Amino acid sequence: MSWRAFLSLVLALIGAASLTGCPEDPQPVALKGQAKLTLLHTSDIHSRLFPYALQIAQNDAALGLGAADSIATVGGVARIASAVARERAKSDRVLHIDGGDCFQGAPVFNFYDGEAEIRALSAMGVDAQVIANHEFDKGALNARTQLYKWANYPVLAANYLLDDPDNPLSPGLENVLQPFTTFNVRGLKVGVIGMGNLSSLSSLYERPSRLGLTPLETIDVAQAYIDLLRPLVDVIVFVTHLGLSSDQEMIRGTTGIDIVLGGHNHIVLQPPQIVEDCGRADETGQHFITLKDADGHPGRRKCNPRRVLLAHSGAFSKYLGRLDLVLSNQAVDLEFPYDPLNGFEVASHQYSITPITNDLPMDRTVAEVLEPYREGLDALVDLDLLVGYAPDGARRFGTGGGDSALGNLISSAMWRRLGIETDFSLTNTTGIRADLVPGPVTIEQMFNIFPFDNSISKMQLSGSEVQELFDFVARRSASRGCATQVQIAGARVVINCKGCTTQKPQPCQTNEQCASNECVAGACVIKACADRIYIGSTQTPCTSDADCGNQPNACDLGRLDKDGKGRCLTPIDSAGSYELATSTYLSQGGSGFVVLKRNTTQLDTKIQQRDALIDWVRGGTPCGWKSEHGTDDGLKACDVDGDCNSVGAGYVCACAANAAQKPDGTCFSNGGCGGKGRCVVRSCRQSVSDFFVASCKNPETSVQLASCSSKLDTCQIGGEQCKYLGCVDRNLGNFSDGRVQMVGK
């Protein structure tokens, strides 16, 4: 649409978002001098409505969530609500703004479509929220339905043009979305503008869009609403789900923003960044922003750089961000030149993070809203059902940006699944939403790791298409800190983030003629690409690349045979044919995988990725299994704990007769098993026992549930379970072996 038509639309919308006064102060006196404002910020809750177990990473430990590598119970929106209430009580003027993506990430969304999430935020008292990409995971109609029925706060998105409501196919988002809202907080007029996600909504750019949305240029639309609201408000706040780099770009390309509360990247900025707006300058040093006229031609507007605060407050209901601002409309209070057109400027600020830990109480109102959903989940699916035991857990991100243990585990589950069994498998790293926590593995953990209901698609790719696929992966990974954006099995690839050594510049006349989509001085710009790709093995034993004809990285030492040797890998043949297993999300072009979307050989197996992973773990052998033990179950027979020393450190003899429990809950072997015991991992017996003890208590009151017997011998149950639970170890592919090697950082 033209710029003039867009401005007409903006002016037409102003009546839908007029200034609102607080009930207790309908006609406040205009403020002069200093004023305080507190902004509470949550984002990317991803359906983590209930507390959950988390292995604390180093960055979370630094932010106070718990001791590094410990396993703690964190999160839950009832605890967030109590923290919000506490922070409101300590504040003068306060607004709670949410950054979207409250949908998708835990089983409650899979079964209730977002109803519980919106009801919880409404009960919490959120003042405004931006709509984000995962709110559309079950379609635009579902997003509109849930927001229309349950949201008692404004939902914002200024950078979408909505379908004509008279169109019978329109999802009706105009009934729930508005570009901005305003607040009169005890005389301080605050404008809040929302910017929805653009990068992760691939169908947004299809015409006609399945979402009923047309994306608008970020900087153009942001400046239009700044100009619209600037004369009417004292402070302009943007709540965005664009991602960090897009937030920075938006600030530098506009003038007039005071604060940006961002989301989408699941990061915490502590302290917040200070980014200067009006970021371009001409040869004379005069700063300017670029705006388009009615015909779309760029023009310049002079401006003076200002400091804009940019805060991100994390994800998965782990943190509540608090930004305390001292604002002023008097030059004497400011350390930089003051322009009255900008209303109140930020004179000083302080930012703090509240970790959402078990120490926080639960807000009773929010807990009562969620209780029917908790009970409903118990009736619909047994989330506490054990599927395996993970001695060390598994991280979803690998060291050095390469493949991860959890990514390789999942890719192996897809690749080796009965009925799949392709040449190689590939899934997106960002689709893996949680680490595998050490200890008992439950169905609920599988939902947390793989919340999306994506099935596995198979397709045939030529060698040249495989090269194109991994070249795209390289470019996407390079733009994200040279960290791999895929996890694979059955293949090995070297990703060069600075450009392949074997690639030569190709002549071109237009950008479209280049794989990099960039033609400069008659030659295609070389960008990140896949330097070497191997699929399959020659089965030739190797201890180094020299054994494989000196093919670089061709000796796969990740999976060693009994003699400590690997196998030589086979380079792809451009004319060859390779069968790929991937998710339906990627096969349909999600995350920009157009090379897969256009493939005409796709077959949806209808096997969900989550189910493949569950079955893969269930089919694993228990910890301590060896065929040499000569027993039907592969575990060493024993009478007492000492008989298990030959299996390895940390094994005990388990049987129903010898399980006992100390008053503190510690399990121990009391007596012998008459030679009928089996050697199991001590920590498995203990952690499974602890799991059943916790399962028999109300998580909010720790009161024993009536459905559980007080005489339940959980140590006995733990020992017996560990004889059968699949061990999530190297045998299932739970290790990182450098199959995705990142170079050129």
pLDDT tens by residue, 95-125:
999 999 999 999 999 999 999 999 999 999 9
Q: Tell which residue, 553, 495, 399, has the closest CA to residue 741.
A: 495
Q: Specify which residues 53 forms β-bridges with.
A: 73
Sheet of 287-292: strand order equals 280-281, 287-292, 298-302
| 633, containing H or E segment | none
Q: How confident is the model at residue 15 (pLDDT cuts 50, 70, 90)?
A: very low
Report the percentage of the chain scoring pLDDT > 90.
Answer: 76
CB 174 within 8 A of CB 160: no
- Domains of the chain and any CATH numbers: 3-371 (3.60.21.10), 386-620+737-743 (3.90.780.10), 627-724 (no CATH)
Mean pLDDT of 327-350: 92
What is the distance between the alpha carbons of residues 569 and 716, in angstroms, rounded to a whole number?
A: 47
The whole-number pLDDT of residue 694 equals 87
pLDDT tens by residue, 247-301:
999 999 999 999 999 999 999 999 999 999 999 999 999 999 998 877 778 889 9
Mean pLDDT of 557-575: 84
Q: Which residues make Cβ contacts (< 8 Å) with residue 704, sequence separation at least 6?
A: 696, 697, 710
Q: Are strands 213-215 and 259-262 parallel, antiparallel or unpaired?
A: unpaired
What is the distance between the alpha carbons of residues 69 and 438, in angstroms, rounded to a whole number?
A: 10
Q: Is the confidence at residue 2, as pLDDT, over 50?
A: no
Q: Is the confidence at residue 18, as pLDDT, over 50?
A: no
Question: 490 or 295: whose pLDDT is higher?
Answer: 490
pLDDT tens by residue, 374-420:
999 989 999 999 999 999 999 999 988 999 999 999 999 999 999 99
Q: How confident is the model at residue 709 (pLDDT cuts 50, 70, 90)?
A: low
What is the distance between the alpha carbons of residues 361 and 76, in angstroms, rounded to a whole number?
A: 10
Q: Is the confidence at residue 59, as pLDDT, over 90?
A: yes
Per-position DSSP letters for 500-567, written without gaps between them: -TT--PPB-SSGGGSTTS-EETTEEPP--EEEEEEEEEEEEEESSGGGGTT-TT-EE-SS--TTS-EE
| DSSP-derived secondary structure letter, 253 | T
SS3 397: coil
The whole-number pLDDT of residue 166 equals 84
Q: Tell which residue, 593, 590, 610, has the closest CA to residue 134.
A: 590
Location of structure tokens 């919880």: 120
Name the average pLDDT for the chain. 90
What is the distance between the alpha carbons of residues 511 and 515, in angstroms, rounded to a whole number?
A: 8
Q: Are strands 213-215 and 160-162 parallel, antiparallel or unpaired?
A: antiparallel
pLDDT tens by residue, 289-305:
998 877 778 889 999 99
Where residue 186 falls (left for φ over 0; alpha for ψ -120 to 50; beta otherwise) is left
